Amino acid sequence: MCSCRQHKHTSNRQCAGLPDLTICDPTQAGLCLNQTCSSACAIRQMLHCNCPSEDDNHCYLCCGNTQNPCQPAHVYRPNGERWEREACRRCHDLPDGVPCDDKSDRRICLNKKCTANACLNQPEGAYCDLRKTRLCVDSDCRDPCREHSSMLTTCECDGQKSRCELCCYDFRSKQCESAFRKYGIRNKDGRPVARIGLSCNRKQEQCNMYGRCASSALRPFWPMVAFACVAYALLCFR
């Protein structure tokens, strides 16, 4: 079932004296037909609807009716191109990671699309924009430091204690410190934002999901392994 709605037409004066299929409303893919500015959906005997995909629904005008599922409509422009929001069109010529929507700073260009799903398959703490200021936090591309204060930006702590956590640089104090301990910034579980995959020592070992360097995360287990080996040897030689 298509959850559709009729798109309101703009003033008919926009199409006065213009030939059919002239673009009269670029924001809603309006085309002139019989001197009336109509939605491209209406011209195809369909209604404007919300696409199942958030990215499609953001970038394209979606059409559907009781017989046709809601999907991005095709061939809206006289030159045969599919109508697309201007913010999304810019991504065809921009590299991945560049912000693409003035209304939502969480949308970036990715694979030629203006998407809010840049963190779909990324670990927590991975960079998700070209400027390396926004990270994947709670599956969303965000800048937690700047959200907390306009005087903060994302940085990478040098100290072993905070290296595997989100750190914020304060432009006033010129210090890069733990976002959790200094500013109380945390993920939805109330824990520090982990920088999974970040190189954390000279051996090029990486931070794990627990917010620890891989080598330090293994150290507590070595005494247990050694004790087990000694105990096993004593049992064997009794």
And the tokens for 149? 């204060």
Q: What is the pLDDT of residues 79-89, one digit of tens each?
A: 667 778 878 88
Q: How confident is the model at residue 192 (pLDDT cuts 50, 70, 90)?
A: very high
Supply the DSSP string of 193-205, one letter for each residue: PB-TT-B-STT--
Contact 68, 80 (CB under 8 A): no
As a whole number, mean pLDDT of residues 152-175 equals 92
Q: What is the pLDDT of residues 121-154, one digit of tens each?
A: 899 999 988 888 889 999 888 899 999 999 999 9
Q: How confident is the model at residue 237 (pLDDT cuts 50, 70, 90)?
A: low
Number of domains composing the chain = 2
Model-level pTM greater than 0.85? no
Domain annotation covers residue 166 = yes
What 208-215 contacts at long range (C-beta under 8 Å, 24+ apart), as own/partner pairs, is 208/164, 209/123, 209/124, 211/164, 211/165, 212/164, 213/160, 213/163, 213/164
Residues in the chain: 238
Q: What is the pLDDT of residue 136?
A: 92
Q: How confident is the model at residue 118 (pLDDT cuts 50, 70, 90)?
A: confident
Q: What is the pLDDT of residues 25-53, one digit of tens each?
A: 876 778 888 888 888 888 888 888 888 88
> Could you tell me the residue range of the domain that residue 32 belongs to?
22-84
d(CA 224, CA 220) in angstroms, rounded, equals: 8
Domain annotation covers residue 173 = yes
Domain annotation covers residue 4 = no
Q: What is the pLDDT of residue 12?
A: 65
d(CA 238, CA 57) in angstroms, rounded, equals: 73
